[in-house]
Structure 1
Amino acid sequence: MLMRGADEQAFRDFAISHAAALRRTAYLFCGDWHTAEDLMQASLLKLYQAWHRVEWRDHPSAYARKVLLRTWLDEKRRPWRRAEQRDGELPDVADSSSDPELAGERLWARDLVHAALLRVPPRQRAVLVLRYFEDLPVSEVAVAMGCTEGTVKSQTARGLVALRTAVEGLERVVVAS
């Protein structure tokens, strides 16, 4: 499908300004930068194909997040993804702007939370990422996920319990080793 010049430029501007945020959100969903890149690109392709329907909307970024979420959930359903296990360690990233001791503690906590987040079921993980990492209100998460606000609230509560359990389990493993 070919776009008019103005539409093409509007999409390019949108993609340039939102690609990094979409990739970061995709990474929080899936836990792998390569898969996150693929999800971001697939989402932008779908968005490009629907741009003539999206451009008039007030919040194309919300629509893009919804497309990204659905793309990720579709990818999770693929049989070859279900068999894949990721047991590798996350690389440490230096934080040169702070005290090295505090940076180490923050990196440990961040990695612990991220590893625990990957153990939370996909729908609950999606709700937690959209609510707490993307800082979206319940109503916008409900729209993005295509469910009711009550479902978002219950999935958030269950997700927080699952996240807490996963963090505690990972902490026990670290202490025991």
Structure 2
Amino acid sequence: MSEVKSSQDEEFREYVAARSAALHRAAYLLTGNWATAEDLVQTTLTKTYLAWSRIRTTDSIDAYARRILYNTNASWWRKRSNREKPTEVFEDRADLSRDFTEHAAVRDAMWRHIAVLPKRQRAVLVLRYYENRSDAQIAEILGISIGTVKSQASRALAGMRKRLGTPASALGVAMEPREAA
């Protein structure tokens, strides 16, 4: 029995080594905060480990872990009673902004606009444009219909265009709606 457990533990360690960086990126894109992203990944990996003996032989380990990541994030923001409010200007970064390159400034401006989106719209944009997921994959991960994915993406992009007062493509980011894969 201990050999089986040891083998499973080694397989899980290999999975974590191979996929934790991608999970951290996705978690950061969802939360906009490295500390919260690290907590989210830790929780995701703990839940994945607890189910490891059941899922380790499937082809969808990564899909299972990502679903845990997105569902845990959604659960966290549903439960929070004192929600943080994003602001237009970060006081501690105001003096540093002139030192950033133009690309970093555009990226920061884009994230400020993404941060004010409703959580589901943000999740759809992160999955679509930063993880390059198809509408069907997004629907499966978030547990919503493909039509909801498309409407949430459309609303998110329309709201961002309105706030930006310019097409997103003018900012050098590919954020235009794309064909469903």
For the aligned pair, the TM-score class normalised by the smaller chain equals: 0.7 to 0.9
Counterpart residue type for residue 106 of structure 2: A
Equivalent pairs, count: 158
User: Which runs of no fewer than 5 residues in structure 1 stay unpaired?
Assistant: 93-100, 170-177
For residues 127 and 136 of structure 1, the distance between their equivalents in structure 2, rounded to whole angstroms, comes to: 9
Q: Deviations over 1:81-124 (max 9, x none)?
A: 52x234363869xxxxxxxx9x7111111111111110110001
- Counterpart of 1:173 in structure 2 is none
1:108 paired to 2:105? yes
150, 158, 163: which one pairs with 2:160?
A: 163
Query: Match of 1:66, as an amino acid?
Result: R
Instruction: Give the deviation of 1:166 after TM superposition.
Output: 3.7
Q: CA deviation at 1:80?
A: 3.8
Q: Which amino acid counterpart does residue 141 of structure 1 have in structure 2? A: I
Q: How does 1:111-130 map to 2 (within 5 A)?
A: 111-130=108-127
**Greater relative contact order, per chain length (Cα 8 Å cut-off, separation 6+):** 1
- Measured in 2, the distance between the counterparts of 1:81 and 1:54 equals 35
> What residue in structure 1 maps to residue 49 of structure 2?
48
Give the SS at the match of 2:122. Answer: helix
Answering whether residue 148 of structure 2 is matched by residue 151 of structure 1, we say yes
Aligned to 1:27: 28
Q: CA deviation at 1:167?
A: 3.4
> Could you tell me how far 1:40 is from its partner in structure 2?
0.6
**Map 1:1-150 → 2, pairs under 5 A:** 4-82=5-83, 84-87=84-87, 89=90, 104-150=101-147
Counterpart of 2:141, as a letter, is: A
Amino acid paired to 2:35: H
Q: Give the residue type in structure 2 aligned to 1:31.
A: G
What SS is found at the alignment partner of 1:120? Answer: coil
Contact 2:86 2:116 in 1 (8 A): no
Counterpart Cα distance in 2 of 1:17 and 1:39: 17
2:101 is paired with a residue whose SS is helix
Is this contact kept in 2: 1:112–1:167, CA < 8 A? no
- The one-letter code of the counterpart of 2:77 is K
Q: Is the 8 A contact 1:119 1:163 kept in 2?
A: no
CA pair 91-37 structure 1, distance change in 2 beyond 3 A: farther
